[in-house]
Amino acid sequence: MNETSTAQTVSLRYRFGEIPLFSVRWPGQVYSSFSAQTPDEHELGNRLNALDPEVQCLFWVACPIDRAQPRWTIREHVLCYVRQQYDRFYVNLQSSFDDYLDHFSAKSRQTVRRKIRKLEEHSGSTVDRREYRTPSEIESFIPIAAELSRKTYQHQLLQLGFCDGVEMRRSLLRQAEQGTLRTYLLFVRNQPVAFMICPIQDDVVVYSQVGYDPAYSEWSPGTVLQYHVLERLFAEGKYRIFDFGNGQGPHKEFFATASIRCADIYLFRNSFRNRLLVRLHALCDGFSENVGKFLNRLGIKETVKKLLRRTSAKWLHQ
């Protein structure tokens, strides 16, 4: 199993749909892994109980599961909260890029090539794709990616996205020094339009942070950059898996060759405060999910989502 853990603050963000309300933080331990192995149901609780009492939460990102999990349960004095359950998509890199392309239908291959050609025609020349991996290269990459991220709705509306703060800079430079980082930029007419950050865990390359200039959304810069990144990784021939990380999306499903079922699991010490906060978060999530399903049945979910993003972005700039 490829597994890493770090001591860091764990947070839950409370929101109504895509509108942020507030967030709560706990001192915690974060685990991440890429494995088809499902841990014993008591294993995670035992890990939390073995930690210092000041650690209030253990968060396992993309924990493999072999069956549907209840939203929240109490096990052996530990409150288990399953934030989301999803298919974790990945690409098997242990072949050639041509073999990888063969897994697409003829129509899908044509769609990707058309998007690449459309962006190249818009740029007036071949699109410039650049890789950054050394510490000096990462120093150049960070401000460009941060500026791109600030243009996205994730940053403007949800306060998410890539941040060039001191801790993030140190982390990226440390990974670059260790040779466990790949970052990429896509340029059109010498202007950066998309970025991708991919840390490396053993032989797994992780799709971590991405963003693109919304002014170029018509030309699918994220798709073009993704194609280039995979082409480079297949050519490099050093890695086993390109892991699309937690969460689902049509982009991930389209490029993936397989998936495993996973869940994001929070384990809290069973206090009254933690039970209250977890229940409140589950209620917020559940309400937003039901509203989304209702709008989807009406056929207006995407329209409402885009309207909220545009309205919120304009409001934030006033």
Task: For the chain, give the percent of residues with pLDDT over 90.
Answer: 49
Q: Burial letters for 129-152: b for 16+ Cβ neighbours within 10 Å, e otherwise?
A: bbbbbeeeebeebbebbbebbebb
* pLDDT at position 281: 94
Q: Where do the CATH 3.40.630.30 domains begin and end in the chain?
A: 94-239
pLDDT digits (tens, 9 = 90+) for 151-183: 875 655 555 567 777 888 999 999 999 999 999
Q: Quote the tokens at residue 286.
A: 């559940």
Q: How many CB atoms lie within 10 A of CB 306?
A: 11
- pLDDT higher than threshold 60 for residue 310: no
pLDDT given for residue 233 in this prediction:
96
Contacts of 45 (CB under 8 A, 6+ apart): 75, 76, 77, 78, 80, 267
Query: What pLDDT, on a 0 to 100 scale, did the predictor assign at position 306?
Result: 62
pLDDT in tens, 208-247: 989 999 889 899 999 999 999 999 999 999 999 999 987 7
What CATH class has 94-239?
A: alpha beta
Q: How confident is the model at residue 103 (pLDDT cuts 50, 70, 90)?
A: very high
- How many CA atoms are closer than 13 Å to the CA of 305, on its beta-carbon side? 17
Say how far apart CA 54 and CA 65 lie, in whole Å.
Answer: 28
Q: Closest by alpha carbon to 172, among 193, 190, 203, 198? A: 198
Residue 154 near residue 160, CB atoms below 8 Å:
yes
Note the pLDDT tens digit of each residue in 52-78.
888 899 998 888 888 898 998 887 688
Q: Over the stretch 243-277, which tens digit does the pLDDT of each residue have?
A: 998 777 889 999 999 999 998 899 999 999 999 99
The pLDDT of residue 309 is 57
In 168-315, which ranges are E strands? 181-188, 191-201, 204-206, 209-212, 241-243, 258-269
pLDDT, average across residues 88-101 = 95
Q: What is the pTM of this model?
A: 0.78
CA separation, residue 240 to residues 61, 200, 205 (Å): 20, 11, 8
